[in-house]
Structure 1
Amino acid sequence: MPRVKKAVKSRQRRKQILDMAKGYRGGRGTLLRSASETVDRALKFAYRDRKARKRSFRSLWIMRINAAARLHGLSYSKFMNGLSRANVSLDRKALANLAVSDPDAFAKLAQLAKEAA
């Protein structure tokens, strides 16, 4: 059986972990075991929070739409129901952007939702 030399691969693996741990304080950035544990934990958080970011943005958009709709005498649910009955297919991100940046256009949408509901 031929002799297998695996120094290159193992060095690459260690270097990759320590590169990912760059900037961590103390041994977490320099010692392999500590760095490996910390990097694993950080990757777990990163995976989880990529999903959580989408949820938190959606809730932010809903809050903004609700606040703007209440200025026009509508609750969020009545506003969204009115828009769907009026066949307006704007997503929550676009509606929240309109509510913040263009209140006049949002007022027209609110009027449309009132008439449709």
Structure 2
Amino acid sequence: EKMNKFKVFELARGFRGRSKNCWVLSRNRVEKALQHQYSDRRVKKRVMRATWIQQINAATRQAGLPYSRFMGALAQTDIRLDRRTLAELAMSEPYSFRAVVDVVKENEHHLVEDFVREKDLSVTVTKPEPHLLV
């Protein structure tokens, strides 16, 4: 898309040196800045998600539960909170977040029991046959 000079100079405000008022330089700088702007809007989303995960991980580890186990058990419960909300809750309302973690811990315990019961993973110890001990 071709922009006129006025639009380019308007977008080039704040650039250093001749890039803000020289047509040849500002045209290229503005085009590159718009490319960075486009990609950085996507990078921002990745960075924010990583930040939320770090905050949730720190808060859940204080409660004695790693992030991966917390999120796995949370998915099995009826609690529908996204990472952004969980991170905000962990930072601003630690007692409320701890209550969520406790509910998830309790539910995780029941999930493990149900899994063992379904798979019949009870351990049975048998004595070896006497003729095999030779």
Using the size of structure 2 for normalisation, the TM-score is: 0.77
Larger radius of gyration: 2
**Within 2, Cα distance between the matches of 1:80 and 1:44?**
36
Match of 1:4 in 2: none
Residues 30-109 of structure 1: pairs in structure 2 closer than 5 A: 30-109=21-100
Alignment deviations for residues 67-93 of structure 1 (CA, whole Å, 9 cap, x no partner): 000001100011111211112110000
Q: Which has the higher helix share?
A: 1
Equivalent pairs: percent with the same residue?
36
Using the size of structure 1 for normalisation, the TM-score is: 0.88
2:7 to 16, 21, 43: 16
Q: Is the partner of 2:91 in helix, strand or coil?
A: helix
RMSD: 1.3
Equivalent residue letter for 1:72: A
**Within 2, Cα distance between the matches of 1:26 and 1:65?**
44
Alignment deviations for residues 3-48 of structure 1 (CA, whole Å, 9 cap, x no partner): xxxxxxx9x8111101110121111001111000100110000000
**Within 1, Cα distance between the matches of 2:14 and 2:59?**
43
Q: How many residues align?
A: 107
**Within 1, Cα distance between the matches of 2:85 and 2:59?**
13
Q: Is the partner of 1:100 in helix, strand or coil?
A: helix
In structure 1, runs of 5+ residues without a counterpart are 1-9
Match of 2:124 in 1: none
Q: Is the partner of 1:24 in helix, strand or coil?
A: coil
